[in-house]
Structure 1
């Protein structure tokens, strides 16, 4: 009999409310939850088709072991025993740091699982932890740490009240925004304009969002930092600094003012292609607005100066009095004081074996992973656990990453399907889809409170996992026991967890005891005085939390040593001094070169959505190199014709799609494609897209030194037409 159940999506940061129709262990229909307190009936195509992924015929539903090049099903006891024995032997021969761990994006949108993965890594006692943070957002955590005293002290634009919003390197219509919970973003941006405000998009491409609402200002790829330097200088020139706020609540203004003094609007125009008068007009409009905010997303994060650019953006919002005010930039406030709890999260710093790069937030740059595996020497990585990730597609220099994984002695993947990385694994352990486990909204929202309209919702398990698939908490606890590496490095905690699992097997008592995920979620809610999971069950569409209207951070919740916002942290000043002159000289010298940017698409999501046949039909069976018609004419490339794209790191061939939405000199290539080698993906392996990250450089010289961020935007590329004979061979 069909039953309707309420939950929320965990694909992206919108976390939209969903209503599921369930028959047994099948989800037969998905629709938006029209009564959800935040999304109010909004949901996207990916969330509404979630069952295509969850119930895919390619789903791994039992542990798999590779035998003579083929995967064979085995039982959990055998899988755990063999992995444990092999890992113990590797650690005995080569030490704790010979074991690496990578976890990816899908599992990160769960609240509990990243905590348990961290606990598993701590039990391994290895410094070789790698995450997607160094691929898309570490710069924001770095700035939070140095300006506000904690990597989890994060701001977000008060979109629903702002009168001026400048979006730099973002495309909310497709990405749904990042570091903010903003369901139905286009409607809410339209409301800014309807109440007399302005929305401006600074981007090398006229995005889907810019077409729907607001104004477009083109900027050359990877030059945002120079625009922001000049923008801040212009604000100072116009006497737009709120000196009363700065003097009372901030340190270091004079040092920042000295840094930006040489960067006139004319000087930035030489490299950004943003006219000086346009910048001046935008700065004036920003200052005149009754509540204004600058917002930056992956377009700046993934550039060569992502940390410096985001730091300047935050400084601008702060010194103009727009930090901690309605309509400006609000400091998140979650159900616990997460910023304070994580203030020392980066206290223990270790360094990479290759390049001596410091760790950040307990992890090393993913752009160094291939080096850590391939370069011989003490602590060389010999074994890798990959949890809900696909670094062969999402990491830098993908060809070298594949070579590295092929050289490992032990590879273990915990995932739903045999993606490219899992295809190389020795063991694949079947995990869960988000509808198959209980949860709360993930940490950015529940803990950091990055929500214009704060809310919380408990969701139970909607359906049981298929076959022998198991909740990742179950897998990690048993892996830790098998490997002799207790979770969080605590044998006492491991014993308590084991005892709890034994108790759940007892007759009469056991069925009434909660499994580990529910026990932890319940504890979190009780600590936050929200009544535990039972209390939140009374709010099936989510529960509204107190509104964050600003005026609750400055002088009250700043946790730096001085109690003030640090506008000019020594580390960020030194980074700017070391990199800006060289970056500017390079930008001047290469003004006529073509620069590559990434692009999100409505029917794909990172590396995992291409196995849904509905998303890759017709022209969507591949990605395209989007190029301005003038550039294509100059290069002799027709619409739909193949082109060869070369960077310092690699090369690829891809069909071209002409688009006047791009400024001349900028080309866009959607990421996440290139699944031909993933034979376990019956649909995706037949698509013809190419992996854009073949063009992204890896290694210590290719990363930003403090955040460990890799560069995916603004990559210099050479493009040429492909001869017909070559194109025919490539297509066959």
Structure 2
């Protein structure tokens, strides 16, 4: 079908009528919301998006986090009592840093805000520190610092188990801290006793002596930490792996220690505030698969099931804000069919992307240059910064045409839907009043909320500097350094106020590891697929910008080790069909000698050919690698709902045909 332009007033009226109808006939949970990564890069956007759903009374919240990081939140809640308790390495003082499944030179670190990542890594080495990169590919980061150690994709949890086993063997434990601040160590000790380095080396490919030497360096260094990111998170056992990683950092005495891992504070003590007010602490389970909610949301990998499965609570309307799930989520071809069956699909974005292209309503939002802002939520609220500072920015340009900011859109949607933001009638009236006052005082501006005033209010409530005073510090206002000895015994929110090293859910889930290990060993000769990040195309964000595509060309590639290409009688730019348990894709191959054998790497974020509003991106031939990943409750991490997007088995076959202009290239 085709689209026609309508007024904001008409759009709000029609959307509001449908929301009211579904809420009355099918209940509030029939209305769902997907919050994408882009929403998180604005302070007000995710707050007002959540406020709209709270007003409706719907629990059907989904986000991009179950594609890349919800394992960390789920485990943190079980261990520390709050999901946003996220310890990070003290990079300025660390002497041994082990980085697993992360490429900070390209990602600029994940969660943690680090100035000049390459310089920071090199500074560690300059002062005599040791860095290890454990990864199936010798990444760009490993090329400028440290020692690289290959690991078989998806086997990180077994590396961590044997690391902890060896740490205990080498007596690298801080017994005083274990007795004073931790519970459950004996249970964890029992869990890892049979996972020695010799056993796991058969699967991980990490020689026992290499692991033992790594542990020895970790123990003798004054300040050590293990850090992991998406390569581990998305590898199928992300929750169990991150759990054991955190146990290692804790029992070695490095948690809350100079040069170890720290727990920061933002403009407020968000840990204390969140626990006190029950923020991100829902305890319910999903209708399909009975998966736990994490950060007050369900697993994206069951969204198609929640839409397609009839019964009470079936989702019949979706709001997608700042995201493109038809590119980013597992088995997105199935999700597309589910979205096409919805009675209402509304998207809020700056592009008419794949998801927007099948929406009933596309609401144009402002971009980052068109709004005032404060930092990302992790540095702002959690203090996840190498060098803490706070910064404010004014809007650089005015919105064009019909663009509106997301906070104002959700305020209007709430009114049209007959609900109040955050479930507060007083709050709804307050925001409507200041919106009218702002419009009266600024008739030349787009009708909307005074965003700078709202951001200033957040700063004032936190008793920090005002927005205008921060503008006088264009490069940021320096805050207090991250403190050691400020977390253990002080900001733990478990029942006994101790770090829980052995949560029951994780212990029970770990019982599957012996079967996992056997299955992996039995399939050791099969290929595994991993994803690959590109800075210029920034996941799926910038494919519609010609200059960002110059380095990448008009397609992504399947990267393989030269010896694997030779074994399969493949030459560069030959086409291969890559097949998983759910789908197939076709791509040209390129040799990459920094890749572990029996591993194939495919950059993600491609496949924009059907995006109506992306005139540059839809001329590319790139393939959406995420259609190879399985969805549904049985395919997900049972602790966090994480999708298995990297490190899964695939079959590789030379193709006799060329690449088509489609999602899969077939």
Would you say same fold, with TM above 0.5?
Answer: yes
When residues 409 and 254 of structure 1 are mapped into structure 2, their CA distance, relative to the original with a 3 A threshold, is same
Give the equivalent residue in structure 2 for 1:633: 566
Distance 1:471 1:196 in 2: 49
Q: Can you list the C-alpha shifts for 1:631-678, whole angstroms capped at 9, x where unaligned?
A: 112222211111000001111101111111111011111111001111
Instruction: Tell me the secondary structure at the aligned position of residue 293 of structure 1.
Output: strand
1:91-102 alignment runs, 5 A limit: 91-102=23-34
Residue 310 of structure 2 is aligned to residue 363 of structure 1: no
Q: 1:602 offset after TM fit, Å?
A: 2.6
Residue 522 of structure 2 is aligned to residue 589 of structure 1: yes
Distance 1:112 1:143 in 2: 27
Give the equivalent residue in structure 1 for 2:17: 85
Distance 1:526 1:371 in 2: 44
Give the equivalent residue in structure 1 for 2:263: 331
Give the equivalent residue in structure 2 for 1:688: 621
2:489 equivalent among 555, 562, 578: 555
User: Structure 2-normalised TM-score?
Assistant: 0.96
Q: Can you list the C-alpha shifts for 1:309-333, whole angstroms capped at 9, x where unaligned?
A: 0111111111111111111111122
1:410-489 alignment runs, 5 A limit: 410-489=344-423
1:615-694 alignment runs, 5 A limit: 615-617=548-550, 620-694=553-627
Distance 1:175 1:258 in 2: 36
Q: Can you list the C-alpha shifts for 1:485-526, whole angstroms capped at 9, x where unaligned?
A: 211112221111112222224459999x99443333222211
Distance 1:656 1:242 in 2: 49
Give the equivalent residue in structure 2 for 1:319: 251
Q: Can you list the C-alpha shifts for 1:331-355, whole angstroms capped at 9, x where unaligned?
A: 1221211112223334433332222
1:576 equivalent among 503, 506, 510: 510
Contact between 1:503 and 1:509, CA under 8 Å: does it hold in 2? no
Q: 1:220 offset after TM fit, Å?
A: 0.1
Contact between 1:113 and 1:473, CA under 8 Å: does it hold in 2? yes
Q: 1:714 offset after TM fit, Å?
A: 1.0
Give the equivalent residue in structure 2 for 1:537: 471
Q: 1:679 offset after TM fit, Å?
A: 2.6
Distance 1:184 1:691 in 2: 31
When residues 382 and 725 of structure 1 are mapped into structure 2, their CA distance, relative to the original with a 3 A threshold, is closer
Distance 1:412 1:355 in 2: 26
Give the equivalent residue in structure 1 for 2:112: 180
Residue 340 of structure 2 is aligned to residue 397 of structure 1: no
Give the equivalent residue in structure 2 for 1:602: 535
Instruction: Tell me the secondary structure at the aligned position of residue 73 of structure 1.
Output: coil
Distance 1:226 1:724 in 2: 40
When residues 514 and 655 of structure 1 are mapped into structure 2, their CA distance, relative to the original with a 3 A threshold, is closer
When residues 508 and 661 of structure 1 are mapped into structure 2, their CA distance, relative to the original with a 3 A threshold, is closer
Distance 1:429 1:241 in 2: 55
Contact between 2:316 and 2:344, CA under 8 Å: does it hold in 1? yes
Distance 1:660 1:388 in 2: 37
User: Structure 1-normalised TM-score?
Assistant: 0.88
Q: 1:90 offset after TM fit, Å?
A: 2.5
Distance 1:223 1:626 in 2: 20
Distance 1:309 1:586 in 2: 18
When residues 444 and 725 of structure 1 are mapped into structure 2, their CA distance, relative to the original with a 3 A threshold, is closer
Q: Can you list the C-alpha shifts for 1:366-399, whole angstroms capped at 9, x where unaligned?
A: 0011111112222221111110110000011011
What is the total number of aligned residue pairs between the two structures?
662
Q: 1:93 offset after TM fit, Å?
A: 2.7
Alignment gaps of 5+ in structure 1: 1-68
Distance 2:580 2:331 in 1: 11
Distance 1:557 1:94 in 2: 42
Give the equivalent residue in structure 2 for 1:76: 8
Instruction: Tell me the secondary structure at the aligned position of residue 587 of structure 1.
Output: helix
Instruction: Tell me the secondary structure at the aligned position of residue 141 of structure 2.
Output: helix
Give the equivalent residue in structure 2 for 1:42: none
1:501-540 alignment runs, 5 A limit: 501-506=435-440, 515-540=449-474
Instruction: Tell me the secondary structure at the aligned position of residue 571 of structure 2.
Output: coil
Residue 178 of structure 2 is aligned to residue 246 of structure 1: yes
When residues 496 and 619 of structure 1 are mapped into structure 2, their CA distance, relative to the original with a 3 A threshold, is closer
Q: 1:531 offset after TM fit, Å?
A: 2.9
Which moved further from structure 2: 497-506 or 390-399? Answer: 497-506
Q: Can you list the C-alpha shifts for 1:161-213, whole angstroms capped at 9, x where unaligned?
A: 11111100001111111010012101110111111111110000010111121
When residues 670 and 678 of structure 1 are mapped into structure 2, their CA distance, relative to the original with a 3 A threshold, is same
Residue 302 of structure 2 is aligned to residue 353 of structure 1: no
Give the equivalent residue in structure 2 for 1:378: 312
Q: 1:129 offset after TM fit, Å?
A: 1.0
Give the equivalent residue in structure 2 for 1:135: 67
Distance 1:594 1:731 in 2: 20
When residues 622 and 514 of structure 1 are mapped into structure 2, their CA distance, relative to the original with a 3 A threshold, is closer
Instruction: Tell me the secondary structure at the aligned position of residue 539 of structure 1.
Output: coil
When residues 510 and 488 of structure 1 are mapped into structure 2, their CA distance, relative to the original with a 3 A threshold, is farther
Structure 1 segments, 4+ long, off by >6 Å, are 508-511, 725-732
Distance 2:220 2:442 in 1: 68
Give the equivalent residue in structure 2 for 1:715: 648
Distance 1:176 1:696 in 2: 26
Instruction: Tell me the secondary structure at the aligned position of residue 543 of structure 2.
Output: helix
Alignment gaps of 5+ in structure 2: none
Contact between 2:575 and 2:658, CA under 8 Å: does it hold in 1? no
Give the equivalent residue in structure 2 for 1:698: 631
Distance 1:137 1:544 in 2: 28
Contact between 1:165 and 1:295, CA under 8 Å: does it hold in 2? yes
Give the equivalent residue in structure 1 for 2:195: 263
Distance 1:708 1:725 in 2: 36
Contact between 1:649 and 1:697, CA under 8 Å: does it hold in 2? yes
Q: Can you list the C-alpha shifts for 1:406-440, whole angstroms capped at 9, x where unaligned?
A: 11111111100110000001111110111211211
Q: 1:715 offset after TM fit, Å?
A: 1.0
When residues 467 and 272 of structure 1 are mapped into structure 2, their CA distance, relative to the original with a 3 A threshold, is same
When residues 126 and 291 of structure 1 are mapped into structure 2, their CA distance, relative to the original with a 3 A threshold, is same
When residues 727 and 530 of structure 1 are mapped into structure 2, their CA distance, relative to the original with a 3 A threshold, is closer
Distance 1:636 1:403 in 2: 37
When residues 295 and 618 of structure 1 are mapped into structure 2, their CA distance, relative to the original with a 3 A threshold, is closer
Contact between 1:396 and 1:710, CA under 8 Å: does it hold in 2? yes
Give the equivalent residue in structure 2 for 1:38: none
